[in-house]
Structure 1
């Protein structure tokens, strides 16, 4: 994966294929399909009772998170296969304690739009140009193919977030749709979470080098302790966040009263440039490995 300039749905599919062929103990599938019918892929590795879920690229111009997660999965699987240490921890121990489901690219339509733009053959070409102020440069685009911000889609005080955002039409960001879970990507992620009854989740975003771990006092006591561990491992800052609703982490905490985290990786302007990838990955991999190690022994 060296020399990568963009990492979109096609590149993701190839990497998942390579990963599952190389490591028979890694499985893959789809949690559903996007607005334009693209599969929303997942990979699973681990055999333990504690069920972790990581996801990335909920926001289109944060597609670097997909590459970070795939790299992490490759490195974890490789360490397990070779029985080597994994970021200072026993990969074998983590594998036996945790089952990990990763959805690297929640928003494949949006990612492709950021990377390739829209042409006249796109099913929503005219609407997309209008929502993007007439520009075919979509580098600021966070939403899906219907101009809905997927991380404002979840049923956790959705109405309050809509009032706060005050965005009532589709666009590059911050429009939460006409109702919670109106978008197939968000709906699929909720169904996937419900079906697998995860013990903890982590949504990877960019940027800011911060870890958000609370939601309206619904989080369990261990959330603060875990967030502090993630902060020490990565050098990021654990932040008590207020005045934000309707995100995936918010919904998970309010629904299950279990640990949920949003991690803002890297520093700069989205989309983050690839020339800083290795430095970002070093921080994120340490953080994700620590997250797995937080699971009870």
Structure 2
């Protein structure tokens, strides 16, 4: 929500007027000098939208503000061209509306279009977040990263490396929405005050690593590659089992962490719906973008959301640091998921992250069943993984 500065206004006044933490208002307006606000300057207030209201007989700013638990000055600020002593029936005014309910609907077939719309809405309501394009998919879709927080501990989450695991994107976006709403409404999550986490953590989220693949599973083949993907899919137009990117390369088998072993033992020797690791490590734009992101940011810990199994993997070749064990124990406690230190699998993003950075990396297998998991599991998955999300930021 944007407001226009009046004479004498300060960001501190806006903080008290809307009951929004001052630091979030400051972070939502990075180009504004808070000590020299100019009359008429636009300031973004996080956690609010605007609602148009048609005045009725008997309405006053005092009555309208009292009914909505607002200050009269909030209405005066948003309606500077309206004389409060001469309200006209039928005239439209603007009323600030605090956002208390989730705006992300992750419990649906969560394709790239849904993701893009939700990111835009979150950015509008919570302008203290940053949205970055870290690369492009094979078909040119932006691979989007959401970044927030002011701390030095760098934590990264990602989802939908695998196409038919698209439910992970909806879950991760819903977790983010829950966290953002907690900040603006100053409302703890499971008894945990979240503003200290905002100050302590530099949070990075890539909610859909493989947008082309997700859209293939949910929307069917794109016109420009229809014949090619049907050929890779053995002539079938049923893509529910497709895990790879649009070129038939499994993105979570693309990283230089014993890639040669995985390449040799995989049955797939050419592009396929799943398990083909490519002709070499890091050939695909999606995997390159994720490798570059980790190398540039030097995350302190990384969590990749996959499905399924209600377990998570946290080691690689004994290279994981000692702190990984404590994190794994806490993740297991808060989620009920089974921790697994080692599995006979290589070339994954988690494997490469642990190998190259010697920092905690995790592959979290959400839910149970056959991919793609049914949306009927969404609520349960959300509650299970919420504890992991918070613990990853807190510990």
**Structure 1 residue 208 corresponds to structure 2 residue 299:** no
Partners of 1:78 and 1:27 in 2: CA distance: 16
Structure 1: distance between partners of 2:178 and 2:228: 41
Tell me, what secondary structure is at the counterpart of 2:303?
A: strand
2: CA distance, partners of 1:93 / 1:71:
20
Report the CA distance between 1:180 and its aligned residue. 0.2
Distance of 1:132 and 1:3 partners within structure 2? 28
In 1, the alpha carbon distance for the partners of 2:106 and 2:312 equals 28
Alignment partner, residue 169 of structure 1: 270
Shift of residue 216 of structure 1? 0.2
Give yes or no for contact 1:87–1:289 (8 Å, CA) kept in 2: no
Specify which of 193, 196, 206 is matched with residue 294 of structure 2: 193
Match of residue 25 from structure 1: 128
| Counterpart position of 1:230 | 331
1:210-241 deviations in Å (ceiling 9; x for gaps): 11000000100110110110010111011122
**1:116 CA displacement:** 1.1
The corresponding residue for 1:57 is 160
- Deviation of 1:3 (Å): 8.2
Q: CA RMSD in A?
A: 1.1
Give the C-alpha shift of residue 164 in structure 1.
Answer: 2.1
1:242 shift after superposition:
2.8
Partner of 1:93: 196
1:251 pairs, out of 352, 355, 365, with 352
Which whole-Å CA distance do the structure 2 matches of 1:277 and 1:57 have between them? 15
| Structure 2 SS opposite 1:286 | helix
Asked whether the equivalents of residues 76 and 91 of structure 1 are also in contact (C-alpha less than 8 Å), the reply is: yes
Higher relative contact order (CA 8 A, sep 6+): 1
Report how many aligned residue pairs link the two structures.
Answer: 292
* Separation in structure 2 between the aligned mates of residue 155 and residue 266 of structure 1, nearest angstrom: 28
Q: Does 1:108 align with 2:226?
A: no
Distance between the aligned counterparts of 1:104 and 1:285, measured in 2? Answer: 15
Residue 124 of structure 1 aligns to a residue whose secondary structure is helix
Distance in 2 (CA, whole Å) between partners of 1:275 and 1:261 is 25
> SS of 1:89's equivalent?
coil
**Deviation digits for residues 153-176 of structure 1, max 9, x if unmatched?**
001010001112132111110000
Instruction: Tell me, in whole angstroms, the C-alpha distance in 1 between the residues paired with 2:183 and 2:218.
Output: 33
TM-score, length of structure 2 as denominator length: 0.72
Structure 2 contact 110–169 (Cα < 8 Å) conserved: yes
**Alpha-carbon separation, structure 1, partners of 2:225 and 2:159:** 24
Structure 1 unaligned runs (5+)? Answer: none
Listed one character per residue, the Cα deviations across residues 80-128 of structure 1 (whole Å, up to 9, x for unaligned) are 1111112332201111111110000000000000001115x2x222221
Contact 2:313 2:343 in 1 (8 A): no
Q: What corresponds to 2:13 in structure 1? A: none
Q: Distance in 1 between matches of 2:257 and 2:220?
A: 32
Higher mean alpha-carbon deviation, 161-170 vs 202-211, is at 161-170
The separation in 1 between residues aligned to 2:166 and 2:307, in whole angstroms, is: 9
How many angstroms apart in 2 are the aligned matches of 1:224 and 1:36?
A: 39
Partner of 2:155, secondary structure, is: strand
Q: Aligned partners of 2:392 and 2:191: how far apart in 1?
A: 13
Contact residue 106 and residue 174 of structure 2 kept, 8 A: no
2:143 alignment counterpart: 40
TM-score, with length taken from structure 1: 0.96
Whether 2:232 is the aligned partner of 1:127: answer no
Q: Residue 87 of structure 1 contacts residue 285 of structure 1 at CA under 8 Å; is this kept in 2?
A: no
Q: Does 1:264 align with 2:365?
A: yes
1:273 aligned to 2:374? Answer: yes
